Amino acid sequence: MYRVGVQLGRVQGSLTDPRLYIFSSRHPS
């Protein structure tokens, strides 16, 4: 679930969830 959220944040960017995008950029997997 965590990795999925990170991937979605990276792929769709801030269009879907800015928080996921920012979190993924600050915590790369």
14-23 per-position pLDDT tens digit: 565 667 667 6
pLDDT number for residue 19: 73
User: What's this model's pTM, rounded to 2 decimal places?
Assistant: 0.23
Which residues constitute the domain of residue 2?
A: 1-29
pLDDT number for residue 15: 61
pLDDT number for residue 26: 72
| Position 24 confidence tier, pLDDT thresholds 50, 70, 90 | low
Return the closest-CA partner of residue 23 out of 4, 1, 15, 5: 5
Q: How many domains does the chain have?
A: 1
Pseudo-torsion of CA 6, 13, 10, 28, nearest 10°? -70
Angle at 28 between CA 4 and CA 25, to 5 degrees: 90
